[in-house]
Amino acid sequence: MQQPVILISGASRGIGLAAARQLSARGAIVLVASRSFDRAQQAAAAMGGAATALQLDVTDECSIALAVSEVATRFGRLDVLVNNAAVLLDHHESISLLKREVLSETFATNVSGALCLAQAMLPLLEKSSDPRIINVSSRAGQLGSELQTWAPAYSMSKSALNMLTQQLAAAYPGIAVNSMCPGWCRTEMGGPDAPRSADEGADTLVWLAMDAPHALRGNFIKNRETIHW
């Protein structure tokens, strides 16, 4: 079997980095993508194996185009795209004070960035025998959960990312597209009080990338099980 080629956006830290390490240890060719090429290089070098750094800003069309060109030239295909890049700009903000620019910036990365990267990588994914897209979402975006006031822009963006997952799954039945919830993890975004480690949060992501049946598609997954949207 060919080594799977896996691109993870926002992979120089947090859950993306933890997933990249685990996937690299399992023999995958992992493209550690980050806005900071220096940080991506440092992360990839620390992993060894077939990990390689990739400069990628999902809010920049030119950056996306260059990333597509590099993946096409070096590998000719992409087996797994992980839309992990995200921002959390309104951690303790009230929706009554939420600024338009904060909402726009949040959606630009968390939703539009994921869509544009998926669109650009589709021709390479279609060359894979087992193409997959994994969107890293959050329980904060669940519509069926209790009422909440936490991080309104971030939460709304994750709800939109879940709908993007369903749209892509419906439009591309040959690609296993799923959202996943890593849980509350001890990362730069999650803070030091979270109950899960980044490695624990990455477990479902790694499973979806390497082990989940291809027939599993159009779902929201946590702890390797489907949960409500």
Q: Which residues are catalytic?
A: 154, 158
Q: Does residue 81 contact residue 125 with C-beta atoms inside 8 Å?
A: yes
DSSP 8-state assignment for residue 76: S
CA 155/CA 134 separation, integer angstroms: 18
What is the phi/psi pair of residue 136, to 5°?
A: -80, 105
Q: Does residue 98 contact residue 48 with C-beta atoms inside 8 Å?
A: no
Q: What do you get for the CA distance between the two ends of the chain, in Å?
A: 34
HEC sequence for 29-67 = EEEEEECCHHHHHHHHHHHCCCCEEEECCCCCHHHHHHH
For the chain, the C-alpha Rg in angstroms (whole number) is 16
Nearest to 86 by CA among 182, 168, 2: 182
Q: Does residue 137 contact residue 162 with C-beta atoms inside 8 Å?
A: yes
Extract the tokens encoding 133: 């897209």
Q: Are strands 132-136 and 80-83 parallel, antiparallel or unpaired?
A: parallel
